[in-house]
A and B are shown apart, each in its own frame.
With several copies, the nearest count.
Chain A
Amino acid sequence: MDDKDIKYFLEAALLAAGRPLNIDQLQGLFDGRMEPEKADIRKAIATLNDEYEERGIVISEVASGFRMQVKSAMADRLQKLWEERPPRYSRAMFETLALIAYRQPITRGEIEEIRGVSVSTNIVRQLLEREWVRVVGHRDVPGRPAMFGTTKGFLDYFSLKKLDDLPPLADLSDWESLRVQLDLPEVEEQDENDVPVLFPEGEHEPAADEELAVAKWPDTVG
């Protein structure tokens, strides 16, 4: 095993390990016969670091050994990598938010009654954490359930000056006019049977095609 082999083997080991490896561990990776001296290993690591001069990586020595890392100047420019993709809100979350917006103050029980299914604690927490809704009081019934209302933050997010600016309920029955009013994209014609069958609640990501499912309904919702 020549110097180059040792060098590239160590490089691959550190890149594959994803954790610091100490000199004994590095040495132990070699087959007995070709095991280099520790000094050779240190020399190889130094050589690698020289080669990395221009590159974005470096082998640094930390408490538990040698670790391959991205240089900090480079890491700064890579922040986007760690911006986690925003999770998608569920349909249940949107429905809950909409009910709070239009029917506030409203309790969780009342939301559940209208939706016909239970509202998970998680959804309520999401909405509270996002600071779109707040507890405005407690209803005087057993359990003293919290009543929810929307916040200024909610209005700000949707560029509304006041709740009044939410599209009036009545207009919801006329989806077409609402679409025009909100400047929503035109809905394509689609076969009746596709949409409802393939994407049941909860198991899908709300996609563009969902508009279609909704677009059909106005006639049924007097």
Chain B
Amino acid sequence: MKPELTVLTPQDAPKPAQDEKQSPAQTEMPFAIVDGEPVTTLPQDLYIPPYALQVFLEAFEGPLDLLLYLIRRQNIDILNIPIAEITKQYVQYIELMNELQLELAGEYLLMAAMLAEIKSRMLLPRPPVEEDDEDDPRAELIRRLQEYERFKKAADDISELPRLERDVFVATAEAPERKHVTKLPDVSMKELLMAFHDVLQRAEMFSKLHLQREPLSVRQRMDEILARINARKFTGFADLFDPEEGRMGVAVTFIAILELLREAVIEVVQSVQYAPLHVRAASSVRLVSEEDE
């Protein structure tokens, strides 16, 4: 009878036992239920029942991890493991996976191909002279396994460090009348200018937009004019000018009005020919004055 096999996703995993600290090496939660029994550790030998293979494969972090497992679970001094033997076992696993029509990740196949190549090379007579280091795939495989195992070990080491929320608890005391104050960030003129510089540069680089370098006084004056007029009633055109400012000031005001007209923010109206000009906000523009906000 084929045993019932359930592969657990992290969401429906049962609350694990307190044994995490004792067996942190392999996995932190049961990764499968075989015949109703949660499986939390990998078997100590290589005889994994075929029906459980899929779940064990899911417990591996990839082909390197599987290969490492096979090598380490030999329970033999690593010195005595012929790489050909390991290769054979690995390929057996891959074949088994194929028979069971398990979805095979490309990485596993790639590894199988690499091992097969190593195996075939070892069957060939040794070349009399030193091989080119670069060409020896065994060296590369061992380098990768070694590197991977170092970090696999490091991952275990980190997972065993005392952890906040699990091993370490912060001691706190309540402060009754604490007031929350959020300070606003400070901004310097420098930051503002750098940002502006930046955006101008981008605008010039990436678009046809050419920002006019007009005197700010015009913008300032546009602002002032907007503050003085509104949409409901007309403001005398002449009232917008302050003769005391002199020729320059008057000119700036005039340019500001033209600019506002151009941007259709204001309208200039005249009841009859030669009557005084009046200004108001364009009917479609609603001005909000700073004071009545």
Contacts and interface: CB of A to CB of B under 8 A. Distances in A.
Instruction: Assess A/B contact in the complex (Cβ within 8 A).
Output: yes
Contacts of B187: 89, 94, 97, 157
Contacts of B197: 172, 175, 214, 217, 221
A101 B143 CA distance: 20
Contacts of B180: 82, 84
Interface in B142-165: 142-159, 161-165
A86 B190 CA distance: 18
Contact of A172 (B26, B149, B171, B217): B149
A98 B192 contact: yes
A19 to B, nearest CB: 7
Interface stretch (B96-104, B220-228, B236-244): B220-228
Interface stretch (B33-41, B48-56, B200-208, B271-279): B200-208
Given A84-B182, A99-B199, A184-B136, A92 B213 contact: no
A70 B161 contact: no
Interface residues of A, number: 92
Contacts of A116: 62-65, 107, 111, 144, 148, 202-203, 206-207
Contacts of A210: 194
Given A168-B216, A187-B139, A91 B195 contact: yes
B178 to A, nearest CB: 5
A28 interface: no
Q: Which of A88, A139, A177, A210 has the most CB of B within 10 A?
A: A88
A202 interface: no
Interface string A163-188: 11011111010110111011011111
Interface residues of B, number: 115
B161 A160 contact: yes
B44 interface: no
Contacts, number: 358
Interface stretch (A2-10, A31-39, A144-152): A144-152
B287 interface: yes
A114 B215 CA distance: 19
Contacts of B171: 12, 14-16, 57, 68-70
Interface in B1-59: 10, 15-16, 20, 26-29
10 contacts: A16-B175, A67-B170, A81-B175, A84-B183, A99-B151, A99-B154, A117-B105, A172-B146, A185-B136, A214-B198
Interface of B: 10, 15-16, 20, 26-29, 61-65, 77-79, 81, 83, 105, 107, 111, 130-131, 133, 136, 138-139, 142-159, 161-187, 189-204, 206-207, 209, 211, 213-217, 219-220, 222-223, 226, 263-265, 281-288, 290, 293
Interface of A: 12, 14-19, 57, 67-70, 72, 75-76, 78-79, 81-92, 94-95, 97-99, 101-105, 113-118, 130, 134-140, 144, 147, 149, 151-152, 156-160, 162-164, 166-170, 172, 174-175, 177-179, 181-182, 184-188, 206, 210-211, 214, 217, 220-222
